[in-house]
A and B are shown apart, each in its own frame.
Chain A
Amino acid sequence: MNEPTPVLTLEGVHTYIGQYHILHGVELTVPRGQVTMLLGRNGAGKTTTLRTIMGLWPARTGRITFAGQPIGGAGTALSTPEIARRGIAYVPENMGIFGDLSVKENLLLAARSARRVDDIDTARLEWIFSLFPALRKFWLYPAGKLSGGQKQMLSVARAIVEPRELLLIDEPSKGLAPAIVQNLIGALRELKQTQTTVLLVEQNFAMAKALGDTVAVMDDGRVVHRGSMAELVEDAALQQRLLGLSLAAHG
């Protein structure tokens, strides 16, 4: 296999939240231009891993390297804004919507280079509207009043309103209607065409199957399996062991 160069690597990352030891030496590589799925049960540490990459929790030991340069870990902790400015966009688990601001303002903030909405690339905005029509409809609405799924759309839209090298997305499909999940899958595929790398946490195995190139499975703060998605899809026993998943239920 011709291994693409990794965009992001985590080596021996240990993260503590307060006095709790949450990540116990996470090892992870995210190849450029691919979708890497991060799977695992509730509480395995997926969200913590993404937050550690973003610098929202400090990695106490280990190394996090992005595009060849260290961004986190012992000794080289960049601040979150600096990490984001290197080209990483993040869709958090709780969506991180600015409820007091309108949909428009939420997107405007996400488009860092734009001073006003007119500065945002119109074609890209249209593309987002085609993926998530609700956003056009509720353009001037306070985002806090959106429905759960609409908030999720807005959160994803914010991450893709400008091109970024790496997307970290935490469970984007939760609360989305099937049709919108389809749109999302389509959108991520399109982004892959433009050499955008994606690290995706997902419980929806159908979506993982549809998108994933490589996969990492976490358990108890460690990455316990790394491989290609295809391999995991083939191997029902592996699924059962890693995810407690029986294919029967998911046909």
Chain B
Amino acid sequence: MNTVTSPLPAAEVALAKVRLDWIPLLLVAALMAVALPLVGSVPTWLTLTVAGLAMGMIIFVIASGLTLVFGLMDVLNFGHGVFIALGAFVATTVLAGMADWTGSASLAANLIAIFAAMGVAMAVTGAIGYAFERVLVRPVYGQHLKQILITMGGMIIGEEMIKVIWGPEQTPLPLPEALRGALLWGDAAVEKYRVLAVAIGSAVLLAMLYLLNRTKIGLLIRAGVQDLEMVESLGYRVRRLFVGVFVAGSALAGLGGVMWGLYQQMVTPQMGAQINVLLFIVIIIGGLGSSFGCLVGALLVGLMANYTGFLAPKVALFSNIGLMVAILLWRPNGLYPVAAR
């Protein structure tokens, strides 16, 4: 997605410039179009579609940190799930402490409470992410296998720590008053909370795209992954940036955790591990590391779940895997392949 043109005319050869590839987006549209006649009723279709897109946005936020860390740093963080759970648990504590705000019927008060919970959750997961990077991930950059193991070990430790702090049982995380229920458009219903999710998801997407494509940071980290010594030899303290990215990825996971917890309205220590596979499917579809691909992948997964769930619930069991296999057959490196490693 480098669209900045050269200051000097590259006169001789017009070489492949990377432009945004619209085809996967068309795929999303096509999926929606195909579903309409199958579903039959327009309000039902609308309900399913909007819910699916919004669910896609939530999944995107949860997966974005994973794809960020993988795409930039080539670190396969199996421990991502624990940050999700941690974020959600922090939110239970924060929201419990702000009972007056969440209990109020005012939307503003509710939102303030939620944003506060998100802020605290991101701060906490970010901080833990810092420690995680320092202690666990740093020694295993560039070694996928050890990353998987170490981060898995981290995941187990984190999950157990959550049990020590918050207890092993599921904990309710009720949605504040004003965000419950649905907005009705004729016969179609859209849950209010999903609207909020779309807003937050879009903000995260824009921030990521800006940071990665309009600043040198993205470049530096990508270069650092390929040849850390060389980037350092050019005079960049790239290790610090690595920490930064990891912290950002963890904080995003925390944010995703809050959103996921509020969506489920309850949290369990295993909640992160439970959606790990789903997240991996999303980022594979997206192209392992592309933030935009992650979005498209998440939207596809969200829509697909709702359409198949409505049309043929049995199929829904395997719809994600089916989707992934189909996409890999079509584009073996995912929708938006990040240059082959």
Q: CB–CB under 8 A between A and B in the complex?
A: yes
* A interface residues with partner B (beta carbon < 8 Å): 54, 56, 79-81, 84-85, 89-90, 92, 96-102, 104-106, 108-110, 112, 115-118, 122, 125-126, 129, 136-142, 144, 158
Report yes or no: B7 in contact with A117, Cβ–Cβ below 8 A.
yes
How many angstroms from the CA of A84 to the CA of B237 in the assembled complex? Answer: 10
Contact code string B204-229 (vs A, CB < 8 Å = 1, else 0): 00000000000110011011001101
Report yes or no: A98 in contact with B226, Cβ–Cβ below 8 A.
yes
Chain B residues near A56 (CB, 8 Å)? 229, 232-233
Report the nearest A residue to B14, measured CB to CB: A140
Q: Considering residues A81, A84, A125, A129, which has the most beta carbons from chain B within 10 angstroms of its beta carbon?
A: A81
Report yes or no: B232 in contact with A85, Cβ–Cβ below 8 A.
no
Q: Tell me which of B15, B231, B234, B341 contacts A138 (CB under 8 A).
A: B15
- Whether A158 touches B234, Cβ cut-off 8 Å, given contacts A117-B4, A139-B6, A140-B10, is yes
- Whether A109 touches B231, Cβ cut-off 8 Å, given contacts A117-B4, A137-B13, A139-B8, is yes
- Whether A136 touches B235, Cβ cut-off 8 Å, given contacts A56-B229, A96-B227, A100-B222, is no
The distance from the CB of A123 to the nearest CB of chain B, in whole angstroms, is 12
Chain A residues near B235 (CB, 8 Å)? 81, 84-85, 112
How many angstroms from the CA of A100 to the CA of B224 in the assembled complex? Answer: 11
The distance from the CB of A211 to the nearest CB of chain B, in whole angstroms, is 22
**A–B complex contacts, Cβ < 8 Å, 19 sampled:** A79-B237, A80-B232, A81-B232, A92-B230, A96-B229, A100-B226, A100-B341, A101-B222, A101-B226, A105-B223, A106-B223, A125-B7, A125-B8, A129-B8, A136-B10, A137-B12, A140-B6, A140-B16, A140-B17
Report yes or no: B15 in contact with A140, Cβ–Cβ below 8 A.
yes
Q: Is B329 an interface residue (CB 8 A)?
A: no
How many angstroms from the CA of A97 to the CA of B339 in the assembled complex? Answer: 14
How many angstroms from the CA of A190 to the CA of B220 in the assembled complex? Answer: 30
Report yes or no: A98 in contact with B8, Cβ–Cβ below 8 A.
no
Q: Tell me which of A79, A109, A141 contacts B234 (CB under 8 A).
A: A109
Report yes or no: B8 in contact with A84, Cβ–Cβ below 8 A.
no
- Whether A115 touches B15, Cβ cut-off 8 Å, given contacts A80-B232, A81-B232, A96-B233, is no
Contact code string B1-43 (vs A, CB < 8 Å = 1, else 0): 0101011101011011100000000000000000000000000
The distance from the CB of A105 to the nearest CB of chain B, in whole angstroms, is 5
- Whether A92 touches B8, Cβ cut-off 8 Å, given contacts A101-B222, A109-B220, is no
How many angstroms from the CA of A100 to the CA of B219 in the assembled complex? Answer: 10
How many angstroms from the CA of A146 to the CA of B21 in the assembled complex? Answer: 24
Contact code string B63-84 (vs A, CB < 8 Å = 1, else 0): 0000000000000000000000
Chain B residues near A100 (CB, 8 Å)? 222-223, 226, 338-339, 341
Chain B residues near A117 (CB, 8 Å)? 4, 6-7
Chain A residues near B236 (CB, 8 Å)? 81, 109, 112
Report the nearest B residue to A118, measured CB to CB: B7
